Every structure is written in structure tokens, then in C-alpha cells.
């Protein structure tokens, strides 16, 4: 078994803490370690270091390698440019197939929070068994807690039609819905959030990629991974320049009839905004979360992330305050979804030093 | 005529912009120049540089001298420790009397805002004439705009009983009142705010000090101001160690029957809090005042004073945000009076680096 950790992504929703040079997965947004390091630690009880593959962008290679020095250097695959999850997974699958065509693959994002790692590993083990015995593409489903519009949804066949306990055939994918649609979906019993965590045999996903995304598959399958490093990197760059950006969900899973879902009940949170960081953090009696030296008079439900200075709050409520020395964010907790808009404004105006 | 500028004071209400080492009068809180520099510029049309006396604390001497290099060095009087306004004024009056016993004195705080300097100088000229002709202690009164609890109030005899047009006998002083009392006072027609600006003949105030505050007067009058500088400073230090802290209002004016008030209608503001800075500043369409690089999405009525960084605001209202690199204040505009409490907390906990 191999674990593939997808560590691309910009994480603009955590600006100014996350930056172009230091995205969410490479910062300690909820753990004492970085999100990536926590993801590695979480899988170590079930996989050897040499079977952990990390895929990242060229711009973060150096910082990433420094954060996981125990991962064999050749296990870190570099994408010259981000093309969403399908090319990333195809690259990793081809790499793993060259080592062991009969292996199975667990694909995990590098930037998710999981409260109960033991329960997580139990679900993954169940999904691996399912993938190996039935040849399915297995996605980990999360019981919806609210009508989130930021996730895709999975509809699955009711339990009494299932062959295996705990793995349900997926009947339909719903891409990120609007709020009304999300409310309707959450009201149903046979719907999960699509967590973006997948398990399959390496040969199964390669077959599916070849069938449903032949452009992606053939671009990458044609590359000889044996030659000198520099030639290999040049071939990868040429392939990525040609490939479309497409998600594995849209490009493969929605088109396949062999998808199953295993429910994951392990305190999952994709940490999609500063609100999630606030929700997951220990609070003082006033509902405040303070990182750094903070004094307050009559402050309530405020997240302060300002580790390098002294902060005073007086008479304020429901704020997210993030200071990085060069940048300061003061945001209503209701408006944390708009943080990315500030990043867009900075991009538009060419204020690169703050990105 | 001499002008005495009282430049003591800690200005903890403007923390973290004002600091122990750099109080309000020595920073550019509303002007492009510092409050002290603006005060000097305001009086230059009516007095020669050599007739401007500045009194300050030893801890601010160096910074202050650098801000007003044109003031003759011997015109800057150093108090070893703050003892409120009566010792400060007595020190300045004795100094001026040694140069010209027949002079008159205009006493001004260093940290007030005045919108109309011409009207200010007209009022001062009227007060000087009054002080010289009648031998009164003249205080500049400001027509109250609201029931402020941070000012003393002056009750004066109704205009029809006045001998001189524009100078009214003061009948009673009211120390800083509670809100109910302030409301009652503001409702009356014959009440002014006590601005803390005074005009008198040097001999008049020295006579009054000798009569009403003999401890203060004799402590300072006994000092020979002729000897070498070091001996003089030692004598001053000994005198200040013995003297009580007392205001000129409480110690002299309230006890004198020769006090008059000249109304000042020149856009006066004592800049008592960050709210005053907000009120006096130009605002954008959303009612925001920004100092520094600021972008906002749906922000209203926010004062940002963060000149050395990039600040983003999202969905916030009615805040005062001040960043100095080492410290950050985020305060509801309704709670700006509590800024001093943060300074007290820092003092209590010995966090001197943030004071």
C-alpha cells in the first residue's frame, strides 16, 4: 500500500498567514506542526516512509522537503504547474505502478484536519480492503453537518442494497451546490460530503484514467521515468503544458460506474476558512482564541493570530485578527469567505510583496 | 508678552501610538507636524521665538529639543518630575519674571487642536489686553458642545454685568462633573468648558501663587537661577521632590476672586481620545479614515493608523485599529476611553517594552 499526499494548493483563504511562498499545507494553522507534517504523522502507523509519496508544486519544493526530511527524496514528485487533482493523481499512480503494479493507493489532501486519527485509519483500512477485493474506486464520505456550499456531495445506494458492510455504491455526484440545493441534499439520508480522500488499486485508477481522461493519461504515460533527472523534469514540464486542468471527481469518478464510498466518522474538517480554525481551537471564558500576547477588555468570540507582537482588544466581538508583521487582517467572522477577495485585489494591483 | 507651552503629560489615551518615550504632544496625531510643533507654529505670528518658553519632563527633553530646534535652548525648562500644572506655571513665571517682571504670559497646553488659528490669536490678544488692563487671571472658555465629563466647567457672570466686552467675571469653577451634572451645566447659558489656556501678567500669577499656594511658590522662588546649570538642576530636583502635585485651577483659580474668562470660538479640540482623531480627519465614502496602505471590503466608520504595513478590512464597523509594529490595538469606537486601562494593565504586569 502507498499513501499519496497531495500538497499543492495556494490556500489564499488563510491570507495573510498563508502566502504564495508558504501555503496553508505548509503552515501550522491548527496543529503545533504544519498541516503536511500532521498528515504524514497520521499515516505513519499504517505505512512505511518509503511508501509515502508527496506531490507538490515546484515553487514549494524546497520548503516542503525541509518539513519532511525523513521522506525519501525520490518520493517527492514535483508538478511544474498545478492542473487540479486528476494529473496529480495520474502522475503519482504511474510512479507507484513503476514500483509495484499490484499496489493499492490511498490519496489524501495535505491540508485537512482529523480529530480522531485511529478512527481515520480504521476507515482507510476498510476502504483498502474494499478497493482490493472489489476493484472499486473508493471515496471517503463524510456525514454532512450543515448545508455547506464549498463541498461536492455524494449520493449512495441505501445500506440494504450493499454487498459489503460499510462500503456503499455511489449512485450520483453533486458538484458544489448552491445553498438551497445544499439544504435539500443535507435533508436526505443517503448523502455524504465528498472529502477528497480516495482509495483504489493503482491499476484500477490507471485503467479509469486511460478510459475517461485519455489526454491526461497518455501525456504522462508516455514519459520515460528512467532517464536522467533533468530530462525527466523537461518531459514532465512539456506534458503539464499540454494537459487540461481537471479534477479527479469530475474527470473520472463521475463517469465511472465502479465508485463506492466508505463513511468516515473521525472528526474531519477541511479547514476551509479562519472560521474553522476558530471552531477547532480551545477558547477562553469569553469565547476568544489568542495566539500571541493578548490583553482584552470586554472582547468576545475573537480569534487573534499575532504571535510576534502585543495585541490589545477593547469592546470588540466576532472578529478574526491576523498579523504577520508586514500585513494585518481585521475581518468579521461572518465574512471570512471574502479573505480570498483581498488576495485577488492584491494580485490585480500587482502588490506581490503582500501575496 | 511670553508664551509658555506646557509639554508634559503621558498621553496614555493614544497608546500604542503614544508611548512613555513619545507622548501625544510629541507625535503627529492629527497634523502633519507634531502637536507641539503645531502649537509653536500657531503662536509664531504673535510672539518672537525668544519669548516662547516650553516646559517639559526630563525624559522627553532630547526628543523635544530636536522637534523645535529654533527655540533658544535656554527657553526649554525641564521639570525633573511632573507635579501637575501649578508648579509648571510657577517655574515658568519665575523664569520669565527674571527676564521681565512687567511681562504678560500666555499659557498653552502643547497637545490641543485648533481649527482656526486666526480666531485663536484674536481671542488671545483680547485676553492679553484684559489681563494687562484689569490685572485679572484670564482663562479661555469654550462654549460646550456636549456634556463632556472629561473637562472642568466655568460659570461666569451674565454679559450685562460685564465691564469689558468679551471678558466675563468667573463666578464659579466646576471640577470634572459626572454625566448628570455635565448635562445640567451644558443646559445653562453662562457656562464654558475650561480649556486649560490661560493669560495673565507674570506678576499677577506670582502674587496669586504666593497667596494661594505658598508651598509651591516658596520652594521655587528660593532657587537662585543664576548659578551653574548643574547646581540649578539639583535645586530644581530638590524643590520638585518636596512640592505637592496640584493644578493651577484647583490651587489658584478656584480660590481667586480676580478670574475672568474670554470666550474662544476657534474650533478647539483637546484631542482627548482616538475618537477625536477620527472626528477631525477627512473620511472616505464609507466613513473610514486610513493612514497606511489599506484595502477594505464592506468596512464602515473605521480608523486605521498603521503606516508601516498593509491592512485589509472585511465586514467591520466602528473600530479604531492602531499598529506600531510591536503593538496592535483593535478597539470599538465606543470604548476608546478604555485605552488607558490597557496601559495600566501593562504597567501592573511590568510589560515595560510595550509602554
The answer to whether the CB of B85 falls within 8 A of the CB of B137 is no
Report how far residue A60's alpha carbon sits from residue B13's, in angstroms, rounded to the nearest whole number: 45
Can you give the pLDDT at residue B162?
47
Measured at the CA of A324, the angle between CA A38 and CA A313, to 5 degrees, comes to 105
Q: For chain A, where are the E strands, in sequence order? A: 2-6, 52-57, 76-79, 104-109, 113-114, 137-142, 153-156, 168-174, 191-201, 259-263, 268-269, 289-297, 303-314, 319-323, 327-332
The answer to whether the CB of A110 falls within 8 A of the CB of A25 is yes
Farthest CA pair distance, chain B: 64
Can you give the pLDDT at residue A165?
58
The mean pLDDT of chain B is 94
Angle between helices A117-134 and A35-43 (to 10 degrees): 60
Measured at the CA of A214, the angle between CA A211 and CA A217, to 5 degrees, comes to 105
Report how far residue A233's alpha carbon sits from residue A241's, in angstroms, rounded to the nearest whole number: 12
* Contact at CB, A309 and B328, closer than 8 angstroms: yes
More confident residue, B269 or A159: B269
> Which residues on chain A are in Cβ contact (under 8 Å) with B312?
15-16, 327-331, 339, 342
The candidate with the shortest Cα–Cα distance to B90, out of B105, B76, B103, is: B105
The answer to whether the CB of B287 falls within 8 A of the CB of B300 is yes
> Which residues on chain A are in Cβ contact (under 8 Å) with B339?
312, 314
Assign B20 a pLDDT band (cuts: 50, 70, 90).
very high
Strand A191-201 and strand A104-109: the pairing is antiparallel
Report how far residue A7's alpha carbon sits from residue A4's, in angstroms, rounded to the nearest whole number: 9
CB-CB neighbours of A318 under 10 Å: 18
The neighbouring-strand residues paired with A55 are: A6, A77
- Which H/E stretch holds residue B194? strand B191-201
> Which residues on chain B are in Cβ contact (under 8 Å) with A339?
312, 314
Instruction: Locate the chain B residue with the closest alpha carbon to A319.
Output: B316
Report how far residue A111's alpha carbon sits from residue A60's, in angstroms, rounded to the nearest whole number: 14
**What are residue A265's phi and psi, to 5 degrees?**
-120, 80
Can you give the pLDDT at residue A11?
75
Can you give the pLDDT at residue A216?
96
Cell triple for A14: 488563510
Can you give the pLDDT at residue A257?
93
Task: Taking residues B319-328, report their average pLDDT.
Answer: 98
User: Mutate which of A315, A317, A351 to disrupt the B interface (most B C-beta within 10 Å)?
Assistant: A315
Burial classification of residue A254, based on how many CB atoms lie within 10 Å of its CB (0-12 exposed, 13-18 middle, 19 or more buried) = middle
C-alpha dihedral over B169, B171, B176, B178, to 10 degrees?
-130
Can you give the pLDDT at residue A233?
85
Can you give the pLDDT at residue B159?
65
Can you give the pLDDT at residue B230?
80
Q: Which residue in B315, B335, B354 is closest to A310 by CB distance?
A: B354
Q: Is the predicted pLDDT of residue B161 greater than 80, yes or no?
A: no
Can you give the pLDDT at residue A160?
58
Q: Which residue in A309, A326, A351 is closest to B327 by CB distance?
A: A309
- Which H/E stretch holds residue B292? strand B289-297
Residue B316 contacts A where some CB pair is shorter than 8 Å: yes
Half-sphere exposure of B139 (CA within 13 A, CB side): 28
Assign B10 a pLDDT band (cuts: 50, 70, 90).
confident
User: Residues near A349 by Cβ (< 8 Å), separated by ≥ 6?
Assistant: none
The residue behind cell 483659580 is B253
Strand B52-57 and strand B153-156: the pairing is unpaired
* Contact at CB, B319 and A321, closer than 8 angstroms: no
> Which residues on chain B are in Cβ contact (under 8 Å) with A335?
297-298, 314-315
The answer to whether the CB of B326 falls within 8 A of the CB of B21 is no
Task: Taking residues B235-261, report their average pLDDT.
Answer: 95
> Which residues on chain A are in Cβ contact (under 8 Å) with B351?
310
The residue behind cell 502674587 is B207
The candidate with the shortest Cα–Cα distance to A146, out of A35, A29, A270, is: A270
User: Residues near A104 by Cβ (< 8 Å), separated by ≥ 6?
Assistant: A1, A2, A128, A131, A132, A199, A200, A201, A202
Q: Is the predicted pLDDT of residue B229 greater than 60, yes or no?
A: yes
The candidate with the shortest Cα–Cα distance to A54, out of A31, A78, A38, is: A78
Residue B344 contacts A where some CB pair is shorter than 8 Å: no
Task: Taking residues B21-48, report their average pLDDT.
Answer: 95
The candidate with the shortest Cα–Cα distance to A129, out of A309, A262, A321, A17, is: A262
First to last CA, chain B: 38
Can you give the pLDDT at residue B165?
58
**pLDDT tens profile B162-188:** 444 589 999 999 989 999 999 999 998
**pLDDT tens profile B87-96:** 999 999 999 9
Report how far residue A223's alpha carbon sits from residue B246's, in angstroms, rounded to the nearest whole number: 88
Q: What is the mean pLDDT of each run of 10 residues along chain A (355 residues)?
A: 94 92 93 94 98 96 96 95 96 96 97 96 96 97 92 84 71 93 92 96 98 96 79 90 94 96 94 94 97 97 97 98 98 96 95 95
Percentage of chain B surpassing pLDDT 70?
Answer: 97
Can you give the pLDDT at residue A308?
95
Residues in chain B: 355
**What are residue B80's phi and psi, to 5 degrees?**
-70, -25
CB-CB neighbours of A46 under 10 Å: 17
Task: Taking residues B98-102, report their average pLDDT.
Answer: 95
* Contact at CB, A313 and B331, closer than 8 angstroms: yes
Task: Taking residues B204-211, report their average pLDDT.
Answer: 98
The answer to whether the CB of B87 falls within 8 A of the CB of B241 is no
Long-range contacts of A181-184 (CB under 8 A, 24+ apart): A182/A147, A182/A148, A182/A149, A182/A153, A183/A147
Can you give the pLDDT at residue A353?
95
Task: Taking residues B324-346, report their average pLDDT.
Answer: 96
Task: Taking residues B128-136, report their average pLDDT.
Answer: 96
Report how far residue B70's alpha carbon sits from residue B91's, in angstroms, rounded to the nearest whole number: 22
The ipTM of this complex is 0.90
Task: Measure A165 CA to nearest chain B CA, in Å.
Answer: 47
**What are residue B300's phi and psi, to 5 degrees?**
-140, 135
Can you give the pLDDT at residue A166?
83
Size of interface A-B (CB pairs under 8 A): 120
Residue B150 contacts A where some CB pair is shorter than 8 Å: no
Can you give the pLDDT at residue A163?
47
Long-range contacts of A226-232 (CB under 8 A, 24+ apart): none
Residue A326 contacts B where some CB pair is shorter than 8 Å: yes
Amino acid at each position: 500500500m502507498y499513501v499519496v499526499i497531495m500538497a499543492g494548493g495556494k490556500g489564499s483563504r488563510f491570507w495573510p498567514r498563508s502566502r504564495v511562498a508558504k501555503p496553508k499545507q505548509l503552515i501550522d494553522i491548527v496543529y503545533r506542526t504544519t498541516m503536511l507534517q500532521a498528515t504524514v504523522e497520521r499515516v505513519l502507523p499504517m505505512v512505511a516512509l518509503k511508501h509515502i509519496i508527496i506531490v507538490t508544486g515546484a515553487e514549494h519544493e524546497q520548503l516542503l522537503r525541509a518539513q519532511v526530511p525523513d521522506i525519501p527524496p525520490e518520493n517527492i514528485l514535483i508538478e511544474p504547474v498545478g492542473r487540479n487533482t486528476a494529473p496529480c493523481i495520474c502522475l503519482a499512480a504511474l510512479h507507484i505502478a513503476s514500483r509495484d503494479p499490484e499496489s493499492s493507493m490511498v490519496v489524501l489532501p495535505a491540508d485537512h484536519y482529523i480529530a480522531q486519527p485511529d478512527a481515520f485509519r480504521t476507515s482507510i483500512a476498510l476502504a483498502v480492503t474494499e478497493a482490493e477485493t472489489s476493484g472499486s474506486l473508493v471515496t471517503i464520505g463524510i456525514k454532512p453537518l450543515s448545508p455547506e456550499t464549498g463541498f461536492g456531495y455524494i449520493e449512495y445506494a441505501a445500506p440494504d442494497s450493499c454487498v459489503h458492510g460499510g462500503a456503499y455504491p455511489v449512485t450520483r455526484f453533486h458538484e458544489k451546490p448552491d445553498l438551497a440545493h445544499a439544504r435539500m441534499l443535507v435533508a436526505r439520508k443517503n448523502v455524504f460530503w465528498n472529502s477528497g480522500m480516495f482509495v483504489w488499486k493503482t491499476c484500477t485508477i490507471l485503467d479509469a484514467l486511460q478510459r475517461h481522461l485519455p489526454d491526461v493519461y497518455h501525456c504522462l504515460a508516455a514519459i520515460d521515468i528512467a532517464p536522467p533527472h533533468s530530462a525527466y523534469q523537461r518531459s514532465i514540464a512539456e506534458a503539464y503544458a499540454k494537459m487540461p486542468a481537471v479534477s479527479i471527481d469530475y474527470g473520472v469518478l463521475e463517469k465511472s460506474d465502479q465508485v463506492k464510498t466508505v463513511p468516515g466518522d473521525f472528526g474531519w474538517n477541511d479547514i476551509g476558512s479562519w472560521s474553522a480554525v476558530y471552531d477547532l481551537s480551545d477558547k477562553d471564558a469569553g469565547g476568544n482564541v489568542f495566539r500571541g500576547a493578548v490583553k482584552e477588555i470586554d472582547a468576545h468570540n475573537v480569534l487573534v493570530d499575532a504571535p510576534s507582537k502585543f495585541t490589545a482588544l477593547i469592546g470588540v466581538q466576532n472578529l478574526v485578527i491576523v498579523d504577520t508583521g508586514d500585513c494585518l487582517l481585521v475581518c468579521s467572522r461572518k465574512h471570512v469567505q471574502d479573505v480570498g477577495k483581498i488576495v485577488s485585489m492584491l494580485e490585480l494591483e500587482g502588490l506581490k510583496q503582500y501575496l
